[in-house]
Amino acid sequence: MPALPARLRRVLPRVTRRRILAASAVVLLLAVVVGVAVWPDRPAWTSTDARITVRTGPDDTDRVDLSTRFYLPRDRSGKVPAILLAHGFGGTMDSVRDDAEDLAARGYAVLTWTAQGFGTSTGQIHLDSPDWEVKDAQRLLDWLAARPEVRTDADGDPRVGVIGGSYGGALALLLAAQDRRVDAIVPMITWNDLARSFLPQSADVAATGVFKKSWAGLFFGSTAAGPDPAGGNPACGRLAADVCSAYLATATSGTADDVALRLFRRSSPAAVLDRISAPTLLVQGEVDTLFPLSEADANARGIAATGTPVRVAWYTGGHDGGDGPQTDQDRIHFLIDQWFGHYLKGTGAAPADSFTYSRVAGFSALDRGLVTNAYSRPAYPGLTGTGSAAVAVRGPAQEIASPPNGNPGALSSLPGISSGLSGLLDGATRDVPGQFAAYQSAPLTAAVDVAGAPVIRLRAASATGTATLFVKLYDVGPDGAATLSSGLVAPVRLTGLPSDLGDAQPVTVTLPAIVRRLDAGHTVRIVVATSDQAYFAPARPATYTVAVEPRVTLPTVVGTPIADPQTVWRYVLAAVVAAILLGLLVTLLVRGRRLRRREHRALPEYADTPLVVRGLRKAYADGFVAVEEIGFTVERGQVVGLLGPNGAGKTTTLRVLMGLTMPTAGDALVFGHRLEPGSPVLSRVGALVEGPGFLPHLSGYENLRAYWRATGRPESDARFAEALEIAGLGDSVHRRTKNYSHGMRQRLAIAQAMLGMPELLVLDEPTDGLDPPQIAEMRRVLRRYATDGRAVLVSSHLLAEVEQTCTHAVVVNKGRIVASGPVEEIVGESPSVTIEVSDVPEASRVLSGLDVRSVTPEGPSSLVVDMNGTPRADVVASLVRAGVGVDRVVPRRRLEDAFLALVGDNSRGSGDR
What pLDDT sits at residue 42? 62
Question: 642 Cβ partners below 8 Å, 6+ apart?
Answer: 650, 653, 654, 793, 794, 795, 796, 809, 810, 812
Q: Which of 420, 549, 550, 405 is nearest to 468 (CA)?
A: 405
Tens digits of residue pLDDT in 437-449: 999 999 999 999 9
CB atoms within 10 A of CB 905: 6
- Name which residue leads in pLDDT, 856 or 271: 271
pLDDT beyond 60 at 249: yes
SS3 of 389-450: the string is EEECEECCCEEEEECHHHCCCCCCCCCCCHHHHHHHHCCCCCCCCCCEEEEEECCCCCCEEE
Kindly report whether the peptide bond that precedes residue 404 is cis, defined as omega within 30 degrees of 0.
Answer: no
Residue 107: pLDDT band with limits 50, 70, 90: very high
- Integer-rounded Cα Rg, in Å, for the chain is 35
Whole-number Å distance between alpha carbons of 292 and 287: 8
Tens digits of residue pLDDT in 723-778: 787 667 777 888 888 878 777 888 888 888 888 888 888 888 777 767 676 677 77
- For domain 829-892, the CATH superfamily is MTH889-like domain (3.30.70.1340)
Whole-number Å distance between alpha carbons of 676 and 11: 15
pLDDT beyond 80 at 471: yes
CB atoms within 10 A of CB 9: 11
45-193+269-350 and 603-826: same fold? yes
Tens digits of residue pLDDT in 650-690: 878 887 777 677 888 888 888 888 876 666 777 788 887 76
Give the pairing type, strands 816-822 and 808-813: antiparallel
- Name which residue leads in pLDDT, 880 or 597: 880
Q: What mean pLDDT is predicted for residues 837-852?
A: 86
- Name which residue leads in pLDDT, 429 or 857: 857
What pLDDT sits at residue 907? 45
Angle between helices 742-754 and 700-711 in degrees, nearest 10: 30
What pLDDT sits at residue 908? 41
CA angle 368, 373, 374 (to 5 degrees): 135
pLDDT beyond 60 at 33: no
- Name which residue leads in pLDDT, 281 or 421: 281
pLDDT beyond 60 at 358: yes
Q: Which of 658, 734, 745 is nearest to 693 (CA)?
A: 745
What pLDDT sits at residue 885? 86
Whole-number Å distance between alpha carbons of 526 and 543: 19
Q: 386-558: which CATH number, 2.30.30.180, 2.60.120.260, 1.20.1300.10, 3.40.50.1780? A: 2.60.120.260
Percent of the chain at pLDDT above 90?
A: 43
Worst-scoring range by mean pLDDT, 526-535, 567-576, 768-777, 895-904? 567-576
CB atoms within 10 A of CB 563: 13
* CB-CB contact of 207 with 167 (8 Å): no
Q: What mean pLDDT is predicted for residues 325-331?
A: 78
CB atoms within 10 A of CB 25: 11
Query: Backbone dihedral region of 797: left (phi > 0), alpha (psi from -120 to 50 degrees) or beta?
Result: alpha
CB atoms within 10 A of CB 18: 11
What pLDDT sits at residue 904? 58
CA dihedral 351, 356, 361, 363 (to 10 degrees): 50
- What DSSP character marks residue 343? I
Q: What mean pLDDT is predicted for residues 590-614?
A: 68
pTM (global) more than 0.75: no
What pLDDT sits at residue 230? 53
CATH for 603-826? 3.40.50.300
Whole-number Å distance between alpha carbons of 331 and 373: 11
Query: Backbone dihedral region of 413: left (phi > 0), alpha (psi from -120 to 50 degrees) or beta?
Result: beta
Q: What is the mean pLDDT of the chain?
A: 82
* CB-CB contact of 748 with 769 (8 Å): no
* DSSP secondary structure, 545-590, as one string: EEEE-S-EEEEE---EEE--HHHHHHHHHHHHHHHHHHHHHHHHHH
CA distances (Å), origin 723, targets 142, 478, 719, 785: 72, 23, 7, 11
* CB-CB contact of 213 with 470 (8 Å): no
SS3 of 306-341: the string is CCCCEEEEEECCECCCECCCHHHHHHHHHHHHHHHH
Element (H, E) at 472: strand 467-476
Whole-number Å distance between alpha carbons of 613 and 666: 8
Q: What mean pLDDT is predicted for residues 826-848?
A: 80
Domain edges within the chain: 45-193+269-350, 206-264, 386-558, 603-826, 829-892
* CB-CB contact of 137 with 111 (8 Å): no
Give the pairing type, strands 387-391 and 816-822: unpaired
Whole-number Å distance between alpha carbons of 773 and 592: 50
Whole-number Å distance between alpha carbons of 655 and 825: 28
Q: What mean pLDDT is predicted for residues 853-871?
A: 80
Tens digits of residue pLDDT in 52-103: 999 999 999 999 999 999 999 998 889 999 999 999 998 999 999 999 999 9
Half-sphere exposure for 73 (CA within 13 Å, toward CB): 19
* CB-CB contact of 723 with 751 (8 Å): yes
pLDDT beyond 50 at 17: no
CATH for 45-193+269-350? 3.40.50.1820
CB atoms within 10 A of CB 373: 17
Q: Which of 580, 575, 604, 592 is nearest to 677 (CA)?
A: 592
